[in-house]
Amino acid sequence: MTDTSLTIENILAPELTLCRVPASSKKRVMETIAEQIQQHDALLSDTQIFTNLVARERLGSTGIGQGIAIPHCRLEGLDHVVGVLLTLEEGVAFDAIDNQPVDLVFTLIVPKEATSEHLELLSQLAEKFNERAFCDQLRQCTDAGSLYRRMTAETS
């Protein structure tokens, strides 16, 4: 069976799941995300990823409230969706809609020709992060392995 639908499980790699990352600012969070993606896939430019994330952020903060941000952007030359999950050691100012610091970040990098399927994935993420108990479970993870398993576990 070839299921090509985009799900969190399909786009998040264990190597791109980081727990309790030290970050002093929104800019530093974006730099860390770009560096991690580039380390995971050397064909992708960390500079281009960072620039695109910052450009998207200028259109309006991706801080959705309750300590959560879902930064996202399109990337020229990308042929698959990349997800990155970070929990931060301490919350950082992110211009979130509720003005609360952010400590839970899920980043979505999509191909330049992104389709409505990608918007659906963004919607899935927002829905998942809307569950306070789920977010609390993510925040309680102390290592990347448990964070990855919790994020990709089917919710019942």
d(CA 44, CA 40): 9
From 40, 72, 80, 118, the catalytic residue: 72
Catalytic annotation present for 72? yes
Give CB contacts under 8 A, 24+ apart, made by 31-37.
32/86, 33/71, 33/84, 33/86, 33/105, 33/107, 36/84, 37/82, 37/84, 37/109
C-alpha to C-alpha distances, 139 to 21, 66, 96, 115, 136, nearest whole angstrom: 12, 12, 18, 31, 5
Q: How far apart are CA 60 and CA 135, in angstroms?
A: 23
Would you name the residues annotated as active-site residues?
72
